């Protein structure tokens, strides 16, 4: 039986972004749209590096903010979906499944 | 120093040199009608500065095998920037030329720590007051309510950081106010986001709020991520170093009374 590899997330490399005063400003050059992330959004953004799944990002969020693991996972998944719909993040092709 | 207006030695092309925001440009073209229109439109910005960037209009001969560092197309007019030459092709009138010049300047200004902004610039007591906002925000209204001879532009302002000081330059890019433009500059007093209201009031902005006010009004046409990163750094520095305000204003000259001196 094989289990699909976890989906990993990375920033869209076509974007321009900078951290400013604990917030993150992102520009989509293709459509000249500006996006902003608040403090926790910026924390997740910094850690979206192409090597982490939503669950791993949620663990980091729970460890650094006063939030339960369940809420951290729910918030992380919601933010990833929102950023994905805006083409700010993309999934990394799985390099291989986990076989059990 | 080169003559600002001259006939080129090669075939029948004519050329003239201009400087916008201290960015020197040399326009070469063989279309006599377009030459007359362009040299009249940019008369106030004619300048024989050293080492201008040469722009070949409708030359149709890009460097062989060269890849453009930057390209842009607008309604059939095409800009291609190579390392040693800029080509504008498909330019049928002065308006197309004006559009490509704005696009080129927005890109070239990255190397001069500057940017173009949808804004009116008014000089008062030797300082430049920048009034920013999209179409309909009141830029031309502010210009029309200001003393004659003090308006550097009512549409597109040019800001550059020089020796640690932000300066605003006049541009030949105008909106409804219509004027020849003024090729001068002044240190920036502040950036004011225009909000039409029943009373005149100013509210100081934090740098992040100033950045929010600036970014949607910056003119920039490159889709390259690295160029956009450079732009973001420049505009962010402007937001940190220039005082930013929301300006609620009525359509009367009295709005000047609430502005900081």
ipTM: 0.81
The band of B147, judged by pLDDT with boundaries at 50, 70 and 90, is confident
pLDDT tops 70 at residue B9: no
pLDDT tops 50 at residue A97: no
Mutation choice for A interface testing from B229, B230, B231 by most A CBs within 10 A = B229
Answer with the residue of higher pLDDT: B137 or B65: B137
Whole-number pLDDT of residue B180: 60
Q: Which residue has the tokens 């722009």?
A: B55
Does B213 lie at the interface with A, CB-CB under 8 angstroms? Answer: no
Does A30 lie at the interface with B, CB-CB under 8 angstroms? Answer: yes
Distance between CA atoms of residues B135 and A2, nearest Å: 58
Mutation choice for A interface testing from B232, B236, B238 by most A CBs within 10 A = B232
The band of B111, judged by pLDDT with boundaries at 50, 70 and 90, is very high
Which chain A residues are closer than 8 Å to B224 by Cβ?
29
pLDDT digits (tens, 9 = 90+) for B127-136: 999 999 988 8
Q: Which residue has the tokens 């001196």?
A: B261
Q: Give the three-class secondary structure for A88.
A: coil
Does B211 lie at the interface with A, CB-CB under 8 angstroms? Answer: yes
Within 8 A by CB and 6+ apart from B36, the residues are none
Closest residue by Cα to residue B141 from B171, B169, B177: B177
Domains and CATH numbers, chain B: 5-112 (no CATH), 114-258 (3.40.50)
Q: Give the three-class secondary structure for A81.
A: helix
Q: Give the three-class secondary structure for A49.
A: strand
pLDDT digits (tens, 9 = 90+) for A38-90: 999 999 999 999 999 999 999 999 999 999 999 999 999 999 999 999 999 99
pLDDT tops 70 at residue B6: no
Domains and CATH numbers, chain A: 23-92 (1.10.10.1150)
Query: With contact defined as beta carbons under 8 Å apart, do B91 and B75 qualify?
Result: no
Does B203 lie at the interface with A, CB-CB under 8 angstroms? Answer: no
Whole-number pLDDT of residue A100: 34
Distance between CA atoms of residues B54 and B141, nearest Å: 36
Whether residues B232 and A25 touch (CB distance < 8 A) is answered with: yes
Q: Identify which of A29, A34, A36 has the shortest CB distance to residue B222.
A: A29
β-partners of residue A52 are: A9
SS3 for chain B, per residue? CCCCEEECCCCCCEEEEEEECCEEEEEEECCHHHHHHHHHHCHHHECCCCCCEEEEECCCCCCCCCCCCEEEEECCEEEEECCCCEEEECCCCHHHHHHHHHHHHHHHHHHHCEEEEEEEEEEECCEEEEEECCCCCCHHHHHHCCCCCCEEECCEEEEEEECCEEEEECCCCCCCCCCCCCCCEEEEEEEEEEEECCCCEEEEECHHHHHHHHHHHEECCCCCHHHHHHHHHHHHHHHHHCCEEEEEECCCHHHHHHCCC
Does B236 lie at the interface with A, CB-CB under 8 angstroms? Answer: yes
pLDDT tops 60 at residue B157: yes
pLDDT digits (tens, 9 = 90+) for B160-188: 999 999 999 999 987 766 566 678 999 99
Mean pLDDT along residues A91-96 = 73
Within 8 A by CB and 6+ apart from A49, the residues are A10, A11
Answer with the residue of higher pLDDT: B92 or B174: B92
Which chain A residues are closer than 8 Å to B222 by Cβ?
29
Query: With contact defined as beta carbons under 8 Å apart, do A27 and B215 qualify?
Result: yes
N-term to C-term CA, chain A:
6
Does A16 lie at the interface with B, CB-CB under 8 angstroms? Answer: yes
Whole-number pLDDT of residue B150: 86
For chains A and B, what is the number of CB pairs under 8 angstroms? 44
Whole-number pLDDT of residue A98: 39
Distance between CA atoms of residues B171 and B160, nearest Å: 13
pLDDT digits (tens, 9 = 90+) for A11-40: 999 999 998 888 999 999 888 889 999 999
β-partners of residue B238 are: none
Mean pLDDT along residues B69-81 = 93
Does A90 lie at the interface with B, CB-CB under 8 angstroms? Answer: no
Whole-number pLDDT of residue B36: 92
pLDDT digits (tens, 9 = 90+) for B11-42: 578 999 999 999 999 999 999 999 999 998 89
């Amino acid at each position: 039986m094989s289990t699909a590899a976890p989906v990993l997330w990375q920033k869209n490399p076509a974007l321009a972004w900078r951290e400013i005063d604990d917030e993150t400003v992102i520009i989509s050059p293709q459509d000249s749209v500006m996006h902003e992330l608040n403090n926790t959004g910026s924390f997740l953004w910094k850690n979206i590096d192409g090597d982490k799944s939503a669950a791993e990002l949620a663990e980091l969020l729970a460890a650094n903010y006063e939030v339960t693991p369940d809420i951290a996972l729910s918030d992380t998944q919601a933010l990833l979906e929102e950023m994905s719909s805006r083409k700010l993040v993309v999934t990394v092709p799985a390099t291989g499944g986990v076989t059990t | 120093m080169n003559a600002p207006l001259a006939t080129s030695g090669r075939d029948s092309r004519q050329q003239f040199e201009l400087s916008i925001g201290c960015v020197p440009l040399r326009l070469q073209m063989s279309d006599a009608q377009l030459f007359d229109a362009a040299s009249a439109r940019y008369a106030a910005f004619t300048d024989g500065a050293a080492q201008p960037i040469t722009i070949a209009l409708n030359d149709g001969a890009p460097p062989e095998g060269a890849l453009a560092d930057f390209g842009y197309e607008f309604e059939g007019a095409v800009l291609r920037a190579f390392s040693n030459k800029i080509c504008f092709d498909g330019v049928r009138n002065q308006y197309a030329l004006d559009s490509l010049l704005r696009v080129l300047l927005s890109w070239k200004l990255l190397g001069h720590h500057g940017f173009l902004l949808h804004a009116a610039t008014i000089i008062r007591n030797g300082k430049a007051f920048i009034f920013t906002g999209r179409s309909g925000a009141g830029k031309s209204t502010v210009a029309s309510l200001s003393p004659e001879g003090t308006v550097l532009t009512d549409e597109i302002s040019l800001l550059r950081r020089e020796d640690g000081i932000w300066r605003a330059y006049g541009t030949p890019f105008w909106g409804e106010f219509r004027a020849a433009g003024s090729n001068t500059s002044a240190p920036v007093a502040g950036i004011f986001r225009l909000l039409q209201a029943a009373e005149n009031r100013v509210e100081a902005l934090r740098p992040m709020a100033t950045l929010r006010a600036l970014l949607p009004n910056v003119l920039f046409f490159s889709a390259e991520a690295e160029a956009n990163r450079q732009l973001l750094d420049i505009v962010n520095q402007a937001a940190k170093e220039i005082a930013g305000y929301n300006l609620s204003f009525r359509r009367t000259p009295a709005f000047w009374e609430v502005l900081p001196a």
